[in-house]
Amino acid sequence: MLPVVSGCGGRLADGSSIHSENPGTESAKGASETGQLRHAGALISNADIARIRGHIAAGERPWLDWWNRLGSERAIDLSLGPNPQAGVYRATNAGTMYWDIQRAWCLALRWKLSGDTRYADKAVETLDAWSATLTEVWTRPAGSGAPEDWTGWLLAGMQGHQWAQVGELMRDYEGWAPQRLARFQDMLVRVFAPHSVIWLNDVTEKWLHLEAHANWDLAALCGIMAIGIFCDRHDLYMLAYNYYTANGRGEYRRMFGNGASPHNVYFMHPGHLGQWQESGRDQGHATLGMSLCGALLEMAWNQGDDLYGLHNNRFLAGAEYVARSNLKDAQGNAYAMPFAVQREPNGGAFWTRVNQSFLNYRGCWEPIYNHYVNRMGLAAPNVARMLALCEQNHWSGNGDDMVYPTLTHRRAAYAGPMKAPSGLSVIGVDGRAVLSWWGSAGATSYKVQRGQAAPGPFMEIGEVPAGEATTFTDAPRGGTWFYRVVAVAADRPGAAPASVAARIALPGELRYALALNDGTGTAASGWWVDDAGRRVRLDAPLMGGATWAEGRVGGSKSVAFDGRMSHLQLPAGLFQDLSDFTIAVWVHANVLRYDTCLLFVGQDGIAHMRLVPKGGNFRYSICASGYADERTDALTAKEIASLAA
C-alpha cells in the first residue's frame, strides 16, 4: 500500500501550526498545547464583556439598540420562574427546555453587562432547578408512541452546548454556591456529554456518525467542547479539537465524519467557494451548519486555538458558499452556484445542484463575519450581505441557535492597515491557470499580475472588482509562471499591498519522484518541486513492516509490502494544488487482496481517492462524503497494459 495523508495538510493560511497563537499575541499557546482551559472562555470571553460594555456606555450602535431590546425582553422578567423537567425529549417537551435555556442566557447577559445581581440570582435559580431535576435527554421517553428519528443525539449536543454557555458566563458569580455550581457541571457531564462522546468516539456498532450529515457531528462537537470548557474537562475539549481537525494522533484506522474540517466543505470551487456538505440537501440544514461551526470555532479561539484559519480558512470558504446560496443578484435572481455532484452520506439520492431557498431566519453570521472581517481584516462579501439581512433575527424559536448574536459578537469595523490578499492558489485546468485568493477588507478591486520569477517584475493582466468571486483565469503560453494579486482601495493612497507570489508550470511538469530502490534505511528518498520551483528532498518512511526486496531489474531493489498493514507514507499536502495529474508506478502484484490499496490519497475512509485491486483487475475510486458517495472507474489488465505502453 502507498497511503498519502490529506491534501489539506495540518497548517493554517499563513503556514503556521493549527495550534495557532492566542489572538493578538506572538507567544501564548492555546489550550490544545498547554492543557489549561481559560475562563470565561466559551462563546464570550471577559475581554468581550468589557468591549460590549464600552460600546453600550458610549451609546454606540448597534450595541445600544440590542441592549435596549434585551431590556424589554420577556425572558428577563424577574417574576417568571423555571420549569425543570426530569426528562426532556425532542419529540415531546423539548420546547420547555429551549425556553429556559434562552431565559437563563438573557438573564446572564443582563447581569454580566449591567452588574445587577437580581438577574444573576434569577439565572442561578434556573440552573439550580434544572440540575436538581433533569436525569435524561433523548428523542422520546421509553414506551412513547412518538416516532424515533434518533434526533436525541442532536438535542444532547446542541442543548448541552447552550447550557454550558450559560454556566460559563455565571461561573464567577459569587452568589452561585460552589456545591450548586458543581451539581450543574455534574448534570452536564452525566446527562448530556455521554451521548456526544459516544457519537464522536465511534463506539456504536453502526458507526452512525460516518453515515450522517455534517450537523450531527457539529452538534456533538459543540456540546462536548462547551461542556469541556465549563467543566474543566480538558479531555472533552481535546476530543472535540482532535475530531474537528481530523487529527488521528497516530490511529491509522481512525475515521472522522462529515463534521470534521476536511469533510464539511465537500468541494473547493474557484474563488475559494467551498461547497458545504449539506448544500444539496436544503438551506435550513446548511445554515444550521454555519451556526454550529461558527460557535465551535469561536470557542476554540477564546481558548487560544485558531480553527478558523485551518486549511487556508476552509470554513470561510464554506460560509461564503452557503451565504451566496441564500442571496439574489441585483435583478432578484438566484446566483448560478457551482456544484460538484454529491451523494447523501446514507446512500440516498445524488444531489446535482444547490437547494436554494433563500433563508434569512438564522442569526448565525455574526461570529463568522466578525472574526474574518472585523477581527482579521479579510473580505467576506457574501457573508457581509447575509449579516445585514439576518441581524433582526435575534431569537431562536426552534432551540437551534444562541440568541442575541449581534449584541454578543459584533465588533467594531476593522481599522488596521489593509491586509494583502492571502491564500493565493493557482491550479492548472486544461492548460490554463485558475487563480483563487482571499480578499482584503476595504479593497475596491484586485489587480492580477504575472511574471517569470517570484521577485518579479510583474505585468498587470487583469482586474477583478471587490465583491465578486475572487478568481481569475489566465491562458499564457506554456512555461513556468508566477502570479500575485494586489489589493486596491480608492480611499487609501500609497503602495497597495500584494499577495505572496504563487507558481505554476503549464501545461504541467514532473512534480514528485521516488525511485523506491534505495535498498537500505527506513525510508525511500526522492524529491518534489516546491513553491519556488526548487527540487527539495522528499522522504517516505517504510511503515507497518514494509521492507526492502529484490527489484524489477537484476540487482536492483524495491519496496515489499505484505498486503495487510505495511505501507509507504508520503508527506502531507502533495496533492493540495493539483487538478489533473498522472501517477506512474511499477507494481508486482503477486497477491491481490480485496482490502489492499496500491495507492491511497486522502484524510481517511470518508474522503479519499484510491487505486485498488478488484476481481483480478484494478479499480480507481474517489469519494468526499462517505462510502455511499464513492465513484469508481474499473481498469482491466489490458487497459493498464495499454496505458503503460
Residue 525 lies in a domain: yes
Count how many domains the chain has.
Answer: 3
Residue tagged 507494481 (cell numbers): 587
Decide which of 182 and 247 is more confident.
182
Residue in this structure with the C-alpha cell 458507526, named with its chain if needed = 207
Beta strands per DSSP E along 270-405? 273-276, 342-343, 350-351
Answer yes or no: is 97 within a domain.
Answer: yes
Are residues 27 and 128 both part of a single domain?
yes
Whether residue 536 lies inside any domain: the answer is yes
Same-domain pairing of 302 and 384: yes
* pLDDT attached to residue 227: 98
pLDDT at residue 616 is higher than 70: no
* Structure confidence at residue 11 (pLDDT): 34
Contact 199, 216 (CB under 8 A): yes
Under DSSP, the state recorded for 234 is H
What average pLDDT does this structure show over 304-323?
97
Q: Which residue type sits at 357?
A: S
Mean pLDDT of the chain: 89
Report the side by side order of strands in the sheet with 445-451.
Answer: 458-465, 445-451, 479-488, 502-506
Q: What pLDDT band is residue 619 in, cutting at 50, 70 and 90?
A: confident
Q: Which of 607, 630, 621 is nearest to 260 (CA)?
A: 607
Exposure letters 112-151 (e unless 16+ CB within 10 A, then b): bbbeeeebbebbbebbbbbbeebeebbbbeeeeeeeeeeb
Specify burial of residue 174 (Cβ count, 10 A radius: 0-12, 13-18, 19+). exposed
Q: Residue 73 is part of a domain; what is its CATH number?
A: 1.50.10.100
* Residue 9 predicted with pLDDT over 90: no
Examine the domain organization and report whether 635 and 569 are in the same domain: yes
Domain assignment present for 415: no
358 and 454 inside one domain: no
Q: What is the DSSP string of 172-193?
A: T-TTS-HHHHHHHHHHIIIIIH
Could you read off the pLDDT of 499-512 as tens digits, one per residue? 999 999 999 999 99
- Does one domain contain both 336 and 460? no
Q: Note the pLDDT tens digit of each residue in 588-605.
A: 877 766 667 888 888 887
Is the pLDDT reported for residue 2 higher than 70?
no
Query: Do the Cβ atoms of 308 and 246 come closer than 8 Å?
Result: no
Write out the three cell numbers for 638. 489490458
Q: How far apart are CA 480 and CA 450, in angstroms?
A: 11
Residue carrying C-alpha cell 505554476: 504
**CATH code (residue 432):** 2.60.40.10
Which pLDDT belongs to residue 622? 87
Question: The domain containing residue 441 runs over which residues?
Answer: 422-506
Identify the residue whose cell numbers are 489593509: 418
450602535: which residue's cell?
61
Considering the domain architecture, whether residues 502 and 562 belong to the same structural domain is answered as no
- Specify the pLDDT at position 425: 95
Instruction: Check pLDDT > 70 for residue 220.
Output: yes
pLDDT of 249 reads 60
| Residue 416 covered by a domain | no
Last residue of a domain, one of 466, 491, 506: 506
Q: What is the pLDDT of residues 41-63, one digit of tens each?
A: 999 999 999 999 999 999 999 99
pLDDT digit string (tens) for 240-254?
999 999 987 655 557
389 with 433, same domain? no
365, 479: one domain? no
User: Same domain, yes or no, for 216 and 360?
Assistant: yes
Whether 414 is in a domain gets the answer no
Residue-wise pLDDT tens digits, 330-364: 999 999 999 999 988 887 888 999 999 888 888 89
Strands in 432-438's sheet, in edge-to-edge order, are 422-429, 432-438, 471-474
Using the predicted structure, report yes or no on whether residue 480 has a pLDDT greater than 90.
yes
Cα(335)–Cα(318) distance, rounded to whole angstroms?
16
Same domain, 519 and 611: yes
**Average pLDDT, integer, range 555-584:** 84
- At residue 27, the pLDDT reads 46
Same domain for 327 and 343, yes or no, is: yes
> 438, 472, 506 — which closes off a domain?
506
Residues 446 and 591 grouped into a single domain: no
Cα 390 → chain centroid: 22
Confirm whether 444 is domain-assigned: yes
The answer to whether residue 417 is domain-embedded is: no
Distance CA 261, CA 18 (A): 12
Pairwise CA distance, residues 527 & 330, whole Å: 51
- Is the predicted pLDDT of residue 23 greater than 70, yes or no? no
Q: Which residues pair with 559 in a beta bridge?
A: 548
Domain boundary among 382, 409, 436: 409
